[in-house]
Amino acid sequence: MNLHDWIDELCDVLDIEAEADEGLLVDLAGITHANVHPAAGFVTSFLLGFAAGEQGAAPDAVEGLAAKAQALAESWDRPAGAPAEEDEDVDFEELADADYSDEDSLV
């Protein structure tokens, strides 16, 4: 079974009439994975499908939506895998052992 067959079977199981350009989705997922976050490909594909369904988008319109998502991913300012500041782990042992008597050690 190939990806196209999987899409056909999945549409049947989900009871939806949909056409999916697997090449477009795979490319977009790869770009967002590489430029944004490892899970961004999955999320982007889901949201692209959601937007397409909500807008009743024809295949040409889906390509336009995908191009917008790709442009956003390609201009993303933080590389994949780089933690966001709020996601960075705090080393509490290091904080506990720090000498705070010197104001230069305060961050």
| Residue 64 phi, psi dihedral angles, 5° rounding | -65, -45
Predicted pLDDT at 33: 92
Name the one residue in this structure whose structure tokens are 């295949």: 59
Predicted pLDDT at 52: 94
Contacts 24+ apart (CB under 8 A), 1-10: none
Q: How many angstroms from the chain centroid is the CA of residue 7?
A: 20
Predicted pLDDT at 23: 92
Tens digit of each residue's pLDDT (9 = 90 or more) over 6-59: 999 999 999 998 888 999 999 999 999 999 999 999 999 999 999 999 999 998
- Amino acid found at 66: A
- Of 78, 28, 74, nearest to 49 by C-alpha is 28
Predicted pLDDT at 92: 56
More confident residue, 63 or 96: 63
Predicted pLDDT at 106: 41
Name the one residue in this structure whose structure tokens are 């024809």: 58
pLDDT at 100 over 80: no
The helix, strand and coil proportions of the chain, stated in percent and rounded to the nearest 5, come to 65, 0, 35
Whole-angstrom distance, CA of residue 27 vs CA of residue 8 = 19
Query: Which band of pLDDT confidence, cut at 50, 70 and 90, is reported for residue 87?
Result: low
